[in-house]
Chain A
Amino acid sequence: MSVLLQTAEATTPMWSALAPAIVLALTGLVLLGIDTVWSDDPNNTVLAGTAAGGSLLAFGITAWFLVAGTGQPQTGGAISLYGESLVVDGMSLFFTLITTIVTAMVAVAAYDYLDGHEHRAEFYSMVLFAATGMATMATANSLATAFVSLELASLPSYALVAYLRKNRGSVEAGLKYLLIGSVSSAVFVFGISLIYAASGSLIFADVASALGSGVSEMTGVVGLGVLMIVGGMAFKTASVPFHFWAPEAYEGAPAPISAFLSSASKAAGFALAFRVFVEAFPLGAIPAGVDWVLAFQVLAVVTMTLGNFAAATQENVKRMLAYSSIGHAGYALIGLAALTAGGPNGDVLGASMAHLLVYGFMNTGAFLFIALVEHWGVGRTFEDYNGLASAAPVAAVAMTVFMFSLAGLPPFGGFLSKYALFYSAIESGFWWLAAVGAVNSALSLFYYSRVVKAMWIEEPSGTFEIQSRPVGLYAAVLFAGLGTLLLLPAFGPVIETAQTVAAALF
């Protein structure tokens, strides 16, 4: 590998560090190409194959980079491109990893889900473009690229949510997502403009130094700007108070898209948030009056509490998952909320990143199981799931794995990632954050186990007409399940990588 690495470093130009994003974008274009050259309604298998192949290729490259240490200290540190507006380092690769693998799973799952729908090519290509945007978000190193990549990720998402044009739910979801999204991005960009006003630059490093060197006394402006940027991030990560779109969008959207948004898009949002706040508004440089850590503490507590409590009383499984994903955003926010000047920030951030990776598997899997159920035409409420295990034991086992993993029970990945998160929160002295998280996760155990109870314990209310065993969906679900399971023993490298690359930011 090291030899490979040497050659890679020697021969390939710098921009090749962006290969994952480029591959994703190209795949999107290829899909469009297929759609145009193919006379009428291209073959689903080809499309899905291309999309999955492209994203898997991107995943492979990312993994290789990560292992080879591209953009990490041992190979000369972060690779910054295009006047520092993009940067490739361990963290960006880590998040690209999440995005690409989720994209791959979604693409495979969509193969069955899209059966009998039109405009499949557009669907896949938009997924890929959105993925490109997310990959870019992870590498954005300037407020400008941040905004652009965020929009690049968002715009296709709006369309994807509303993909089922004849389905009122889907359309309504799209509308709400769009409106809240556009408002949020307006807030975001206004915040950017204020920061620019205060610092005269958009590059994170320069912003930091400008604010640090006290160029401006406009604390108020900086504060407004920072909080508005927090808003933009909150929207992307579905955190309070910009979370309102999430329940409806996840519920109404096609299940694979819900999976995509709630896992990849959320992760990308965190990637951006981590970098913006750590690089552009470092605790050392930021004016004393602008205490964004406290802001994130408030948001984290409120978000996880609201998400979990609202999820506890849902009747609709998909909506329950939507709220629970808000709750998990709250957990992940601990990564920013538990930062302290000179504290073990690498550990905290890394734990949060690791949780997002595990979450990418278990949450995607859960939503894809919903997709499977929707594909079968089984209802959406808990009651409709009664006795599902008898009809589809394998899938039910997978779903059980997801639920318990989300609830943070062993022997699944979610257990370690969640406890690692609480652990590092306590490590940096915020034991009360961990305590709040604990209360919430106890509650979450209650509602997650409702699904399990319905599937395994309750008697079937009717008989299920489950004739098909969709290959793609099953493959995706089982892959996610396997990942969730293996991430317990394999958690070591994950958390170590995450914390190393996170530490590199400080």
Chain B
Amino acid sequence: MIIEALIAVTFLAALVVFVAPDEYAGRLAAALSALPVLGSLWMWAQYDASGNALLGGSIAFETDFVWLTLGSLDLHWFVGVDGISLPLVVLTTILSTLAIISAWTPISERQSQFYGLMLFMEANLLGVFTALDFFAWFVFWEAVLVPMYFLIGVWGGPNRRYAAIKFFVYTNVASLVMFIGFIALVFGLGDSVSSMRLPEIAQALRAGELAGFAGLNAGMLKTVAFVAMFLGFAVKVPVAPLHTWLPDAHVEAPTPVSVMLAGVLLKMGTYALLRFNFTMMPDVATALVVPIAGIAVISVIYGALLALAQQDLKRIVAYSSVSSMGYVILGLVAYTTYGVGGATFQMIAHGLISGLMFMAVGVIYNTTHTRMVGDMSGIADRMPVTAGIFVAGAFGYMGLPLMAGFAGEFFIFKGSFASTVHSGMPLFTAAAMFGIVIVAGYLLFAMQRTLFGPFSFDGDYEITTAPMQDVAPLAVLLLLVIVLGVAPDLFFGMIQDAVNPILTGGGL
């Protein structure tokens, strides 16, 4: 029941904070959000399951009972974690707390509402990563949109209305497409499944019990469903060319929200891709390896080029997220331990690093009130600590060894280069790897212009050292990034344990 407790506590915290007076809301939210952190860490310490939750592995902290019956199928309340979801749960709780703290400075209006929504979002995210029944999962999946819409729409920048509605509708359309694809698949399975529990469906699919449905033969149905679900999730990831909602959302969203968006929300997409497409239908995935890997490479290079063309620090980081997520796709389609495991690890790593970068940009923004590269230079002179952490984070983003980013990326490269799913994989990998040069390019340029050089700033704000409450979360994140970079096995062990079953069997 720990998972239910985790989610419930977060929901309650959201309610409490929502009605709390503004002046305490921030502190209160931070304090309350510490509970899920402790809970998730406890789970991590107690974790003893093995194997993949969807493929018959043992599931940790599992609860399962019928929730409601829809037609011929039971919908369960079925939650639990395995080596793939547990790291994401930990990431979610930790990042949420840090994001909340980082909001103390920039968020000055309607604070209780803001923090309430943050916690509400955290609760739903926890649900997304722990639910193992499709409908329950889908409820959380969609519910995440609501707080995000408000967080961007109410506390966002000048163009927030456009960004919020774009995010809202775009991702909602994606969910609908995915829903139809998946449900068609479920009915294609006919009587071989009695519920919407993902393990049941995954095993039935891998056992090849799919029958034709609605005028499509089994193979066709599988492919159509795969594509529909891939598109649906690709929007969330986001994968080029379905990414255009992301930069707008990021630029308009306040820093803490960007942190959550880049740090956790994007991972929903890759997590779902791994859980659904790549776990349930490896045969289709391997059949479509060329287009998928192609999309991955395009995302990496195209995203990096776009980042190179930006002047807004936040846009730079936003586009580079597109680039980094491309690596994840590449790792997933590789179907090797290091490929898929690395992709999962990269989710965590990128979550932490992108969070770090957005926070750092935010801290600079809090003092300068601008994010334009051209508007400032030599900031390091006035904000040495922030600049130092910024540099560290940037190198983390470039994949500096002994930082989490390198671990994730190297695992992926290693895994996908050696992958046997297609003879072209080494070339795809080599092409994608060129991203590490471009990413270095734009980050170094940005840092040279903003942080270094003679100090100059055209704006009437006093540039001074950032307050402790801004820097502390940065420091914590940086520490985590380095710890994970030096000792990836903290998560990588359980991740491999959970992804290996995916690789065996299943049309490979």
Residues of A in contact with B (beta carbons under 8 Å apart): 344, 347, 351, 404, 409-411, 415-416, 419-420, 422-424, 426-427, 429-431, 434-435, 438-439, 441-442, 445-446, 449, 452-453, 456-457, 488, 491-493, 495-496, 499
Q: Which residue of A lies closest to B174 (CB)?
A: A442
Residue among B138, B154, B179, B183 with max Cβ neighbours from chain A (10 Å) = B183
Q: Which residue of A lies closest to B113 (CB)?
A: A456
Distance between Cα atoms of A429 and B214 in the complex (Å) = 5
**Complex contact A445–B169 (CB within 8 A):** yes
CB-CB under 8 A from A422, the residues of chain B are: 179-180, 183
18 additional contacts (CB under 8 A) given A409-B145, A424-B71, A441-B176: A409-B142, A411-B139, A416-B135, A423-B70, A426-B180, A426-B184, A427-B72, A431-B180, A431-B214, A434-B180, A442-B176, A449-B149, A453-B165, A456-B153, A457-B164, A495-B69, A496-B69, A499-B71
Is B206 in contact with chain A by the CB < 8 A criterion? no
Distance between Cα atoms of A347 and B135 in the complex (Å) = 17
Q: Which residue of B lies closest to A393 (CB)?
A: B113
CB-CB under 8 A from B140, the residues of chain A are: 410
Q: B108-158: which have CB < 8 Å to A? A: 135, 138-140, 142-143, 145-146, 149-150, 153-154
CB-CB under 8 A from A430, the residues of chain B are: 214
CB-CB under 8 A from A457, the residues of chain B are: 150, 153-154, 160-161, 164
Q: Which residue of A lies closest to B155 (CB)?
A: A457
**Complex contact B184–A431 (CB within 8 A):** yes
Distance between Cα atoms of A347 and B73 in the complex (Å) = 11
Distance between Cα atoms of A441 and B153 in the complex (Å) = 21
Distance between Cα atoms of A416 and B135 in the complex (Å) = 9
Q: Which residue of B lies closest to A496 (CB)?
A: B69
CB distance from A95 to the nearest CB of B (A): 21
**Complex contact B176–A427 (CB within 8 A):** no
Is B24 in contact with chain A by the CB < 8 A criterion? no
CB-CB under 8 A from A495, the residues of chain B are: 68-70
**Complex contact A442–B68 (CB within 8 A):** no
Distance between Cα atoms of A495 and B140 in the complex (Å) = 20
CB-CB under 8 A from A439, the residues of chain B are: 173, 176
Distance between Cα atoms of A29 and B298 in the complex (Å) = 73
CB-CB under 8 A from B215, the residues of chain A are: 429
CB distance from B69 to the nearest CB of A (A): 6
CB-CB under 8 A from B161, the residues of chain A are: 453, 457
**Complex contact A492–B153 (CB within 8 A):** no
**Interface residue count for B (Cβ, 8 Å)?**
36
**Complex contact A453–B153 (CB within 8 A):** yes
Residue among B71, B146, B149 with max Cβ neighbours from chain A (10 Å) = B71
Q: Which residue of B lies closest to A423 (CB)?
A: B183
Pick 30 A–B contacts, CB within 8 A, sort by A: A344-B72, A347-B70, A404-B146, A409-B143, A409-B172, A410-B140, A415-B142, A420-B70, A422-B180, A426-B180, A426-B187, A429-B213, A429-B215, A430-B214, A431-B184, A431-B214, A435-B180, A438-B177, A439-B173, A441-B176, A442-B169, A445-B169, A446-B165, A449-B168, A457-B154, A457-B160, A457-B161, A491-B68, A492-B69, A495-B68
CB-CB under 8 A from A499, the residues of chain B are: 71
Residue of B67, B139, B164, B187 touching A410 (CB-CB under 8 A):
B139
CB distance from A327 to the nearest CB of B (A): 15
CB distance from B379 to the nearest CB of A (A): 32
CB-CB under 8 A from B142, the residues of chain A are: 409-410, 415
CB distance from A221 to the nearest CB of B (A): 34
Residue of A347, A419, A449 touching B72 (CB-CB under 8 A):
A347
**Complex contact B150–A427 (CB within 8 A):** no
A-B complex: 5 closest residue pairs judged by Cβ atoms: A492-B68, A438-B176, A347-B71, A410-B143, A429-B214
CB distance from A127 to the nearest CB of B (A): 33
CB-CB under 8 A from B149, the residues of chain A are: 449, 452
**Complex contact B213–A423 (CB within 8 A):** no
**Complex contact A419–B165 (CB within 8 A):** no
CB distance from A416 to the nearest CB of B (A): 8
Distance between Cα atoms of A351 and B180 in the complex (Å) = 16
**Complex contact B169–A446 (CB within 8 A):** yes
CB distance from A410 to the nearest CB of B (A): 4
Distance between Cα atoms of A411 and B123 in the complex (Å) = 12
Q: Which residue of B lies closest to A450 (CB)?
A: B165
Q: Which residue of A lies closest to B120 (CB)?
A: A411
CB distance from B137 to the nearest CB of A (A): 11
CB-CB under 8 A from A491, the residues of chain B are: 68
Question: Given contacts A409-B142, A410-B142, A411-B139, is CB(A423)–CB(B71) below 8 Å?
Answer: yes
Distance between Cα atoms of A215 and B367 in the complex (Å) = 87
Residue of B67, B71, B138 touching A344 (CB-CB under 8 A):
B71
**Complex contact B176–A426 (CB within 8 A):** no
Q: Which residue of B lies closest to A346 (CB)?
A: B71
Q: Mark B174-206, 1 if CB is under 8 A from A, else 0.
A: 001101100110010000000000000000000
**Complex contact A496–B184 (CB within 8 A):** no
CB distance from B211 to the nearest CB of A (A): 13
Distance between Cα atoms of A493 and B176 in the complex (Å) = 25
CB-CB under 8 A from B187, the residues of chain A are: 426-427
CB distance from B282 to the nearest CB of A (A): 24
Distance between Cα atoms of A411 and B184 in the complex (Å) = 24
**Complex contact A445–B172 (CB within 8 A):** yes
Residue of B135, B139, B154, B179 touching A438 (CB-CB under 8 A):
B179
Distance between Cα atoms of A488 and B215 in the complex (Å) = 33
CB-CB under 8 A from B180, the residues of chain A are: 422, 426, 431, 434-435, 438
Distance between Cα atoms of A347 and B187 in the complex (Å) = 13
Distance between Cα atoms of A491 and B135 in the complex (Å) = 12
CB-CB under 8 A from A424, the residues of chain B are: 70-71
Q: Which residue of A lies closest to B77 (CB)?
A: A489
CB-CB under 8 A from A404, the residues of chain B are: 146
Distance between Cα atoms of A457 and B113 in the complex (Å) = 12
Residue among A441, A452, A488 with max Cβ neighbours from chain B (10 Å) = A452
CB distance from B110 to the nearest CB of A (A): 9
CB-CB under 8 A from B71, the residues of chain A are: 344, 347, 351, 423-424, 427, 499
CB distance from B174 to the nearest CB of A (A): 9
Distance between Cα atoms of A429 and B184 in the complex (Å) = 8
CB distance from A159 to the nearest CB of B (A): 41
Distance between Cα atoms of A453 and B140 in the complex (Å) = 22
Distance between Cα atoms of A367 and B26 in the complex (Å) = 36
Distance between Cα atoms of A391 and B408 in the complex (Å) = 50
CB-CB under 8 A from A427, the residues of chain B are: 71-72, 183, 187
CB-CB under 8 A from B172, the residues of chain A are: 409, 442, 445
CB distance from B90 to the nearest CB of A (A): 24
Distance between Cα atoms of A488 and B138 in the complex (Å) = 13
CB-CB under 8 A from B183, the residues of chain A are: 422-423, 426-427, 434
CB-CB under 8 A from A442, the residues of chain B are: 169, 172-173, 176
Q: Which residue of A lies closest to B213 (CB)?
A: A429
Distance between Cα atoms of A452 and B70 in the complex (Å) = 31
Distance between Cα atoms of A504 and B201 in the complex (Å) = 30
Distance between Cα atoms of A404 and B150 in the complex (Å) = 12
CB distance from A384 to the nearest CB of B (A): 17
CB-CB under 8 A from A492, the residues of chain B are: 67-69
CB distance from B78 to the nearest CB of A (A): 15
Distance between Cα atoms of A409 and B148 in the complex (Å) = 13
Q: Which residue of A lies closest to B156 (CB)?
A: A457
CB distance from B159 to the nearest CB of A (A): 12
Distance between Cα atoms of A347 and B150 in the complex (Å) = 36
Q: B389-405: which have CB < 8 Å to A? A: none
**Complex contact A409–B146 (CB within 8 A):** yes
**Complex contact A449–B214 (CB within 8 A):** no
